[in-house]
Structure 1
Amino acid sequence: MQINITGHNIEVTEALRNYVNDKMDHMKRLEEYVKSVNVILSIENLVHKAEARIAVKGDDLFAEAGAETMYAAIDALVDKLERQLVRHKEKLTK
């Protein structure tokens, strides 16, 4: 699974990059469905936002989350992505 991390109005530090990679490792069990992940971290009006687009077999999934801290936004983003991936996996297996 290839993960691309970019930042808008924010410098993506090594700590943020490692945190995103660690959180995305939770999705290893669904890795067979994922081709690539593009994560964009940004700050808009004092709200830390994380958004991601995942290329899966036959579709693209998109999720975004905002919070007071970037780490909380990343946590919320990963939760949303996992729910979407599970739903996508169930559609494919039916």
Structure 2
Amino acid sequence: MSIAITSHVIDITPAIRERIESRFEKLNRRQIALITPHVVIQKEGLNYQVEASAGLPGETLFAQAEDENLYAAINDLGQKLERQLTRYAEKPLAQRSQTAQPVAEQEEE
């Protein structure tokens, strides 16, 4: 998978690229194709701010994380994306289970 990583503040080292790619590899375990994932790294004050977006069929994932440690921010970002992807994957199942249950009629008193 090709992940676009941009930063105007710091150079993207192979270690940073590897950490980001490993987080996105965990997302690929769901067998849902991510369309054009893009990660932006910024530094505001002492904190690193990491944003990521990735397209899905019919939806877009977006997450943002901030921490003093860049690697901790990347991990937080990956966890947020993973929660969104899990919700996206389980959404059709939740909708089917709601429609399968009969609607109880209210009795007149």
TM-score, length of structure 2 as denominator length: 0.78
Q: CA deviation at 1:17?
A: 0.6
Q: In the alignment, what sits opposite 1:64?
A: 64
Q: CA deviation at 1:23?
A: 1.7
The change in CA–CA distance for 1:54 and 1:81 in structure 2 (over 3 A counts) is same
1:39 aligns with 2:39: yes
RMSD: 1.4
Give the length in aligned residue pairs: 94
Task: Tell me which moved more, 3-12 or 64-73.
Answer: 3-12
Instruction: Indicate the structure whose relative CO is greater, using CA pairs within 8 Å and at least 6 residues apart.
Output: 1
Q: CA deviation at 1:2?
A: 3.0
TM-score, length of structure 1 as denominator length: 0.89
SS in 1 for 2:42: strand
Q: Greater CA radius of gyration, 1 or 2?
A: 2
- Richer in helix (by share): 1
Q: In the alignment, what sits opposite 1:53?
A: 53
Give the letter aligned to residue 46 of structure 2.
Answer: L
Q: Which runs of 5+ in 1 are unaligned?
A: none
CA distance in 2, matches of 1:46, 1:21: 24
**Moved beyond 4 Å, runs of 4+:** none
The change in CA–CA distance for 1:50 and 1:31 in structure 2 (over 3 A counts) is farther
Q: In the alignment, what sits opposite 1:85?
A: 85
What percentage of aligned pairs have identical amino acids? 37
